[in-house]
Amino acid sequence: MTLTMRATGLYKAAAITLMAAALAACGSSPSGDSYRTSPDYRAQSPGEAENRDTIFSPGGIGSGINLFGSDKEGRDGAVAVNAFLWRASLDTLAFLPLASVDPFGGVIITEWYAPPETPDERFKVNVYILGRTLRADGLKVSVFRQINDGQGRWSDAPVGADVPREFEDAVLTRARQLRLQAVAENG
């Protein structure tokens, strides 16, 4: 009984220590400035605001998603994807149910989807955004297809070589539209 009580007390002490360390990490910045008074967050003219780094847009509007305060080259722990490719991928796959979405790693995985017109056939799509730039090689789409044998068993079936490329083309077209729209709104 006393051994169990000691172990419980040890766990409580460890939990309190971890909580205290986490709270200590939430302190103010080393310079003493709060985020509201730092030069990066002061009111700026519209032209300056477009080029300001934020967590959602390092290097200006639509550049990507940036975490952990990395530098402009995306080093020091940054995880970044192109915001236009990301949004265009979600728009293009809007008819499919999503299984997993990772905006920081640039991965979108859909659930299996059986079109109403062909219920014995289903598809799954994986989208990988590979970088911060809006380029054709910054995107990879994988399409999977299965066919039902009539007894409830699904088996893999080939997908035409042009199907992933058509998805990529649709995403790239939409990303270009979003980019042009953003330039027109901010230009």
| CATH for 83-186, options being 3.40.50, 3.30.530, 3.30.1380, 3.30.1300 | 3.30.530
pLDDT, residue 152, reads 87
What is the per-residue pLDDT across 84-107, written as a single tens digit (0 to 9) for each? 999 999 999 999 999 999 988 999
What is the per-residue pLDDT across 4-26, written as a single tens digit (0 to 9) for each? 555 556 556 555 655 555 544 55
Comparing C-alpha atoms, which of 69, 76, 122 is closest to residue 99? 122
Sheet holding 139-148, edge to edge: 98-102, 107-110, 121-129, 139-148, 154-157
User: Which of 10-19, 154-163, 175-184 has the weakest average pLDDT?
Assistant: 10-19
Residues 6+ apart with CB under 8 A from 86: 65, 103, 106, 129
pLDDT, residue 72, reads 47
Q: What is the DSSP string of 46-85?
A: HHHHHT---SS-TTSTTS----TT--TTS-SS-----HHH
pLDDT, residue 17, reads 59
Domain coordinates in residue numbering, the chain: 1-42, 83-186
Indicate the SS3 state at residue 51: coil
pLDDT band at residue 150 under the 50/70/90 scheme? confident
Q: Give how far the C-alpha of residue 78 lies from the chain's centroid of Cα atoms, to the nearest Å.
A: 12
Q: The tokens of 89 are what? A: 């991928």
Give the Cβ contact number of residue 78 at 10 Å.
Answer: 19
What is the per-residue pLDDT across 32-87, written as a single tens digit (0 to 9) for each? 443 333 344 334 334 444 444 444 444 444 455 444 444 444 444 445 789 999 99
More confident: 141 or 186: 141
Q: The tokens of 176 are what? A: 């270009």
pLDDT, residue 146, reads 96
